[in-house]
């Protein structure tokens, strides 16, 4: 039940063609707006009836074949969720996937609605199209989408989660201490198993920076975020399903929660080495480097008291290396021979395992170390395509820079 704030009052399944235009959201699969059928009638804090999934999913060890669409920017599995002010994950006993958990209001005359539809037989999309915010405000609207994609081809119950952001203009409803769509308790985006330990919040959650989700990504496509749930576990639990980064200038940024003694696997593309930095949270306790590169040996460099990189050890791929009880906040890995440049579309290029000295939220970066590569040094056994790619970049920039991986859309033919 919402209450008015005196301060705020004073301050104030069809086989149609699938289209992905300039907007990040998919459309063209039925209904008046192209997003399927209405999930709920215009409302405040309402939810759909229990809806069937076209496939069964394994979400952190629990199997689900149905879900609830909640007006406030999320879906849940155990029961409908009317909560309008987002709670920091983890939320006990409520498995949830939330592209934008905030106080959505679709009662306003100029607001859109919430839809559910099937882009194809292997996916289901929930779309919040031009939705306003409480109470009855349509001066600013948000458009975003959640897509669940069947990946049982990789294992029973496996699936992908996509968050697609077309337009984000507000963060907070009036009853969450917001004014004109901002302030108070802003929206949260991410997912939570409801078990107290497995959860992930996207960068910007609980701040106005969440509006930047339209211009950022972990796929290389602005506004499109993708997460693979494999064997019921979060991305990062195994080398086969690493946590993918946010693409930033000059490298990759990771934000995630860790448990004590947990190994998290992260995956950018390949250069000749990498710098690793913890910007916030516990220090690195250990690192596991991949196997299969040349002699399987890498150089470990640490920063000395003068701010200079100094080689301190030789690490073997596949073997966990401990930095010491206090860990380190930064380190450098070198020793990837330039002749090992890998296919830039290889998603498993250089998967690194990391653990941390304590539990908590971690914000870290991984920055590639690059070198000049004269054209004459490009040798076999590259494919012709890779040779042409490298030469084209050398001619254009005089320096080889492999762009971060941009996977094809999993629903593409």
Instruction: Return d(Cα 324, Cα 307) in angstroms, integer.
Output: 20
H-state helical runs in 334-402: 384-397
Strand partners, 161: 148, 227
Quick one: how far is CA 234 from the chain centroid?
Answer: 11
Instruction: Specify the DSSP class assigned to residue 164.
Output: E
Is the per-residue pLDDT at 88 higher than 90? yes
- Note whether 151 and 274 are same-domain residues: no
pLDDT of residue 361: 80
pLDDT of residue 188: 97
Banded pLDDT at 53 (limits 50, 70, 90): very high
- On whether residue 307 sits in a domain, the answer given is yes
pLDDT of residue 56: 97
pLDDT of residue 113: 97
Measured distance between the N- and C-terminal CA atoms of the chain, rounded to whole angstroms? 46
CB atoms within 10 A of CB 17: 7
- Note whether 272 and 359 are same-domain residues: yes
Is residue 49 within 8 A of residue 39, CB to CB? The reply is no
- Note whether 286 and 365 are same-domain residues: yes
Instruction: Return d(Cα 229, Cα 235) in angstroms, integer.
Output: 6
Instruction: Return d(Cα 161, Cα 97) in angstroms, integer.
Output: 9
Whole-number average pLDDT of the chain: 81
Is residue 31 within 8 A of residue 119, CB to CB? The reply is no
Work out how many domains the chain is built from and give that number. Answer: 2
Two tokens, residue 385: 């395509």
Two tokens, residue 256: 């995630």
Residue scoring higher pLDDT (107 or 364): 107
- Note whether 362 and 273 are same-domain residues: yes
- Write the pLDDT tens digit of every residue in 249-266: 666 677 777 777 878 776
Instruction: Specify the DSSP class assigned to residue 328.
Output: B
Is the per-residue pLDDT at 242 higher than 90? no
Closest to 48 in 3D by CA, of 68, 73, 74, 67: 68
- On whether residue 116 sits in a domain, the answer given is yes
- Note whether 300 and 358 are same-domain residues: yes
H-state helical runs in 214-344: none
**Distances in whole angstroms, Cα of residue 5 to Cα of each of 44, 82, 179:** 17, 19, 10
- Note whether 310 and 272 are same-domain residues: yes
Calculate mean pLDDT across residues 182-204.
92
Is residue 76 within 8 A of residue 69, CB to CB? The reply is no
Is the per-residue pLDDT at 1 higher than 80? no
- On whether residue 398 sits in a domain, the answer given is no
- On whether residue 393 sits in a domain, the answer given is no
At residue 160, what are phi and psi to the nearest 5 degrees? -110, 150
**Distances in whole angstroms, Cα of residue 219 to Cα of each of 97, 145, 231, 409:** 19, 16, 21, 10
Is the per-residue pLDDT at 161 higher than 90? yes
- Note whether 347 and 205 are same-domain residues: no
Q: Tokens 């492999």 — which residue? A: 402
Closest to 185 in 3D by CA, of 24, 72, 274: 72
- On whether residue 391 sits in a domain, the answer given is no
Is the per-residue pLDDT at 343 higher than 50? no
- Note whether 226 and 269 are same-domain residues: no
SS3 174: helix
- On whether residue 310 sits in a domain, the answer given is yes
- Note whether 213 and 338 are same-domain residues: no
Percent of the chain at pLDDT > 90 equals 58
Two tokens, residue 343: 């296919």
Q: Tokens 């952001």 — which residue? A: 165
Q: Tokens 């970049």 — which residue? A: 393
Question: In this structure, what is the dihedral angle of CA atoms 61, 199, 236, 168, given to the nearest 10 degrees?
Answer: 120
Closest to 235 in 3D by CA, of 151, 170, 330: 151
- Note whether 301 and 354 are same-domain residues: yes
- Note whether 230 and 276 are same-domain residues: no
- On whether residue 217 sits in a domain, the answer given is yes
Two tokens, residue 165: 């952001």
48-62, 289-303, 331-345: lowest mean pLDDT where?
331-345
Two tokens, residue 282: 């516990």
Instruction: Return d(Cα 355, Cα 277) in angstroms, integer.
Output: 13
23-37, 330-344, 394-408: lowest mean pLDDT where?
394-408
SS3 296: coil
To which H or E segment does residue 299 belong?
Answer: strand 297-303
Q: What is the CATH number of the domain that holds 343?
A: 2.60.120
Range of the domain at 328: 264-370
- Note whether 107 and 200 are same-domain residues: yes
Based on C-alpha coordinates, what's the Rg of the chain?
A: 23
Domain termination site, one of 353, 370, 387:
370
- On whether residue 246 sits in a domain, the answer given is no
């Amino acid at each position: 039940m919402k209450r008015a704030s005196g301060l705020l009052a004073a301050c104030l399944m069809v086989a149609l063609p699938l289209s992905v235009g300039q907007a990040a959201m998919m459309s063209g699969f039925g209904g008046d707006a192209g997003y399927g059928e209405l999930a709920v009638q215009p409302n405040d804090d309402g939810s759909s009836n229990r809806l069937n999934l076209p496939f069964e999913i394994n979400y952190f060890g629990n199997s689900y074949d149905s879900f609830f669409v909640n007006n406030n920017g999320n879906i849940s599995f155990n029961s409908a969720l009317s909560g309008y002010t987002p709670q920091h994950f983890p939320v006990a006993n409520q498995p949830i996937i939330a592209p934008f958990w905030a106080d959505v209001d679709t009662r306003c005359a100029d607001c859109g609605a919430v839809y559910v539809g099937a882009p194809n037989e292997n996916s289901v999309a929930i779309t919040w199209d031009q939705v306003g915010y409480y109470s009855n405000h349509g001066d600013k609207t948000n458009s975003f989408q959640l897509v669940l994609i069947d990946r049982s081809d990789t294992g029973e119950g496996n699936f992908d989660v996509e968050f697609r952001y077309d337009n984000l203009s507000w963060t907070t409803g009036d009853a969450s201490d917001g004014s004109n769509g901002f302030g108070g308790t802003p929206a949260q985006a991410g997912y939570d198993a409801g078990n107290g330990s497995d959860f992930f919040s996207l960068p910007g959650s609980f701040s106005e920076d969440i509006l930047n989700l339209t211009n950022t990504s972990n796929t290389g496509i602005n506004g499109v975020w993708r997460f693979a749930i494999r064997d019921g576990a979060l991305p990062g639990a195994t080398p086969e399903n690493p946590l993918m980064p946010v693409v930033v200038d000059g490298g990759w940024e990771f934000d995630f929660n860790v448990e004590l003694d947990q190994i998290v696997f992260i995956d950018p593309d390949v250069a000749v080495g990498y710098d690793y930095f913890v910007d916030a949270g516990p220090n690195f306790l250990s690192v596991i480097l991949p196997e299969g590169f040349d002699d399987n040996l890498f150089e470990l460099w640490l920063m000395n008291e003068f701010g200079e990189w100094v080689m301190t050890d030789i690490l073997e791929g596949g073997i966990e290396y401990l930095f010491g009880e206090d860990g380190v906040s930064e380190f450098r890995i070198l020793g990837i021979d330039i002749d090992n440049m890998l296919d830039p579309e290889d998603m498993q290029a250089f998967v690194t395992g990391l653990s941390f000295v304590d539990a908590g939220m971690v914000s870290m970066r991984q920055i590639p170390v690059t070198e000049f590569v004269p054209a004459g040094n490009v040798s076999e056994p590259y494919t012709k395509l890779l040779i042409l790619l490298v030469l084209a970049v050398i001619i254009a920039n005089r320096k080889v820079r492999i762009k971060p991986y941009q996977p094809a859309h999993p629903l593409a033919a």
